[in-house]
Structure 1
């Protein structure tokens, strides 16, 4: 039995306890485990106020609101109450259950310490995801790791492998040390997946704070685990895990540079094809490629689908997307215009607003090569000032473009979510991803788009270095460096390449050579669908990573 620990798990839109790619990946993974019969259980936290409900003011400012949801109608109570210690404070917690039904039933447990008898500060731990980085976050991660471990014990699970996804649940190792007695024995039970490509992104806490909150665990020598007065949870996870993996081949080199003492493997992420391929496309696949759901390798046979039917299905989805944009904004989009989508978490390294860097050039390209529509969506973290400034920049430049030209239209959609993403990844024509290399650990949104026949236009980083074939299933942005080259992107160089390919390759093909475009749509499904799915990913975890605990 695999115990899959994650700070956020994106299962569906009714459960807003996820913020982005990490959460939706966790949800996709557990759906795949259920389908292919991997005995697994998911552990996460209950956030009663969700992550962030986003509102954009006319001036482009992001306002952050709670996103409460009726968890009692969606989750089932376990009616268990267990003890957990925060410093000298003994508190209670319970858990709520969600079931994913496939060949195997995979249960996901949402831990909840917001009980009436608990201290008010502890009850707040179940308010919001990623709310604070200090002792509040530390306590959330103690609840996740130690609380999750105790819950599984109380429910009688026999766990072979504890899968620490990102380091948020690292404190489960202190319970394992207490039970098994040695680091060597704990390592046989734990694996760690790192998703973060920058040193600053790894959680760390002052050693004195950790010692205070975990003072009942006298078997841990926190001074020995500390580095420069801090406990780094990624290093803690690495020290107590037999296997450590990155989430793409390129990310393995990036992670090895961050953790040079550690041998790091890789399993490139995938997406749950049954969730992300639009039902219009699914109906076509059912007619022409029966069995694709159970065996996504068969998506390589998409050439059996008549081109006119694939295009017709795409145009129906695109029409639904355009209708949504026009309903939510005053952008006046049209169905026959090249529609580019930039939808992801808004933060500095993702350079979400890069395409709007030179409005005069963008205007010139559109007026001479063909009209352009761009849809932006994504939330900035409430404390990410730079991310919020990027949203304001997008909103204000979209207004400026309205006064400059009728050939470029821009819309920003509030409250990016799983359901909105399903329409965006299947309804646009071109999926634009331009993070600063080499900081895209993997990226999964482009995989979802590619499986729907949407063409990728992406920086050569993360998964695209493995899956992208220039001019066949999409286009790259900027130089394609060696795997071990960790140099950063140059904004100017990438922007020139972006504008150049848009003007001289992408727009002319879209407007003048539709047969070539549809051929590339098929190439996209055929090259991306069979490999970049969570079934393949799950089998790789079983064979490469979990093997240590399943033998």
Structure 2
């Protein structure tokens, strides 16, 4: 039995307890566990005010509201309580459940310390996801790790593998060490997946704060776990794990650079997406007819060439029309069905350079007027405390107004409150999926995999998964120079922008408007080269063979 610990989880659009790709990946993983009959249970926290409801003013200012949801409609409360300590305070933890059902049923346990009788500060831990980085976050991670471990014990689970997906649940090793008695025994039960490509992204807490909150757990010498006065949860999780893995081949080398002590033993398992969730219903109909069995065995997607070109194009245009209607309903952008449509939808933060394509408005206008019209649809949330991310959204709105004053050949829209349902339409309804993060900071990325499975062409920085899956001019196009696996130099904005505009003008726009047969061939290439490999069925299989094997002998 595998216990899969996650801080955020994207299961349904109406369960706003995820912030982006990390959460939807966790949801995709559970769907594949269930389909593949993998014995697993998931542990996470219940956030009663969700992550963030995004509203944007006409001037591009992001306003943040609670994402309240009717959790009692989706979850069932268990008749169970355990106790854990925060400092000297003994507190109760309750639990709610949700089931992912398929060949086997995967249970999801939502921990809840918002219980009458608990300290008000502890009850707040079940308020919001990623609300604060200090004591609030530390206590949430104690609740997840220690509380999750105790709930599993109370429910009678015999866990063979504890999978810490990111380091948020690292404190579960405190309980394991007490029960098993030695580092070596704990390492036989734990694995750790890191998704973070920058040193600053790894959770650190002052050692004195950790000692104060975990004072009753006196069997660990926290001073020996300290790095420059802090407890680094990624290092803690790594030390007590028999296997550590990165989330792409490229990310393996990035992680080795951040943690040289892990360089020799680190594995990699490239992320995937749950194909049955992300392939649009219209495209699924085609797959069912021409590639029966693709849903059970996504390797069959390599037979995409058997789909008649006119049918694939017709289905895609039907989805695109649905997207255009959504854009025109929510904005005054006046999109058209027959114009090349580029999608840029992901979490808004500086390294992702969401607004890069708008950097030189005059150049973009010239390209559209000279080579062919384009329309760009943006979506994505900035973290409530990410001032630079919010400035990027504001900049996009300023550029939208600037472009409108110059031309009708470029149309730009921003859709607010990006979520799972909107993503499913965007990744299938665009013609080109643009992803241009600053290299080497994309650990993997999964939105382009989803787009590729729908026949949408990727246009992406050579980083993360695209360095493995991208084939220039075959299933999409790269942006900037293609680095070696171990080349950790940062991409240069000017160099990438020149390549982006050049390929848009001389390759992408002409192919779309003047060589439609070639475009549809590229769409089939995209499905056939991306779908068979970049899915969570393959990913889970690799976890079993490369990572979980330490405890599944």
Q: Structure 1 CA distance, aligned partners of 2:4 and 2:355?
A: 35
* 1:35-70 CA-partner distances (Å, limit 9, x unpaired): 001100001100000000001111111000001101
Matched, 1:48 2:44: no
- Give the aligned partner of residue 177 of structure 1: 177
* CA-CA distance at 1:399 after TM superposition: 1.0
Q: Distance in 1 between matches of 2:8 and 2:501?
A: 36
Task: Provide the TM-score with structure 2 as the length reference.
Answer: 0.99
**1:53-105 residue CA offsets vs partner (Å, 9 max, x unmatched):** 00111111100000110100110111211111100000111111010111111
Residue 277 of structure 1: CA displacement? 0.1
After superposition, the C-alpha distances for 1:432-485 in whole angstroms (9 at most, x for unaligned) are 000000000000000000000000000000000000000000000000011100
Q: Which residue of 1 aligns with 2:35?
A: 35
| Candidates 427, 445, 459, aligned match of 2:447 | 445
Q: Report the secondary structure of 1:346's partner residue.
A: coil
Is 1:69 the counterpart of 2:84? The answer is: no
Partner of 1:539: 541
Distance in 2 separating the partners of 1:82 and 1:176: 16
Aligned residue in 1 for 2:288: 286
Moved >3 Å (runs of 4+): none
- Corresponding residue for residue 334 of structure 1: 336
Cα shift at 1:429:
0.2
Equivalent residue number for residue 407 of structure 2:
405
Check if 1:145 corresponds to 2:163: no
Q: CA deviation at 1:132?
A: 0.2
Report the counterpart of residue 326 of structure 2 in structure 1. Answer: 324
Separation in structure 2 between the aligned mates of residue 441 and residue 81 of structure 1, nearest angstrom: 38
Deviation of 1:315 (Å): 0.3
Distance 1:393 1:78 in 2: 47
2:105 matched to 1:81? no
**Cα separation, 1, equivalents of 2:116 and 2:310:** 60
Match of 2:271 in 1: 269
Q: Which runs of 5+ in 2 are unaligned?
A: none
Distance 2:150 2:303 in 1: 47
Q: Deviation per CA, 1:299-333, whole angstroms, max 9, x where unpaired?
A: 00011110000000000000000000000000000
Instruction: Please name the residue that 2:390 is paired with.
Output: 388
Q: Distance in 2 between matches of 1:459 and 1:230?
A: 34
CA distance in structure 2 between the aligned counterparts of 1:178 and 1:9, rounded to whole angstroms? 29
Distance in 2 separating the partners of 1:105 and 1:524: 32
| Partner Cα separation in structure 2 for residue 417 and residue 79 of structure 1 | 32
Q: How many residues of Structure 1 are paired with residues of Structure 2 in the alignment?
A: 551
Which residue of structure 2 aligns with residue 345 of structure 1?
A: 347
Match of 2:363 in 1: 361
Equivalent-residue separation in structure 1 for 2:486 and 2:34 (angstroms)? 36
- Give the Cα separation in 2 of the matches to 1:235 and 1:439: 19
CA–CA distance in structure 1, aligned partners of residues 9 and 203 of structure 2: 18
Partner in structure 2 of residue 242 of structure 1: 242
Partner of 1:105: 105
Aligned equivalent of 1:301: 303
TM-score, normalised via structure 1 length: 1.00
Q: CA RMSD in A?
A: 0.4
Q: Write out per-residue CA displacement over residues 219-272 of structure 1, whole angstroms, 9 at most, x where no aligned residue.
A: 010000011110000000000000000000000000001111112110000000
C-alpha distance in structure 2 between counterparts of 1:362 and 1:517, whole Å? 22
- Report the Cα offset of residue 23 of structure 1: 0.2
Structure 1 distance, partners of 2:523, 2:331, is 28
The aligned runs of 1:115-154 (5 Å cut-off) are 115-154=115-154
SS at match of 2:227: coil
How many angstroms does 1:3 deviate by?
0.3
| Unpaired runs of at least 5, structure 1 | none
Q: What is residue 94 of structure 1 aligned with on the other side?
A: 94
Structure 1 counterpart SS, 2:405:
helix
SS in structure 2 at match of 1:323: helix
SS of the residue 1:205 aligns to: strand
Match of 1:498 among 497, 500, 520: 500
- Aligned equivalents of 1:520, 1:476: Cα separation in 2: 14
What is the rounded CA distance, in whole Å, between the counterparts of 2:31 and 2:292 in structure 1? 21
C-alpha separation in 1, matches of 2:495 and 2:95: 51
Q: Counterparts in 2 of 1:401-550, with a 5 A limit?
A: 401-550=403-552
CA–CA distance in structure 2, aligned partners of residues 325 and 205 of structure 1? 43
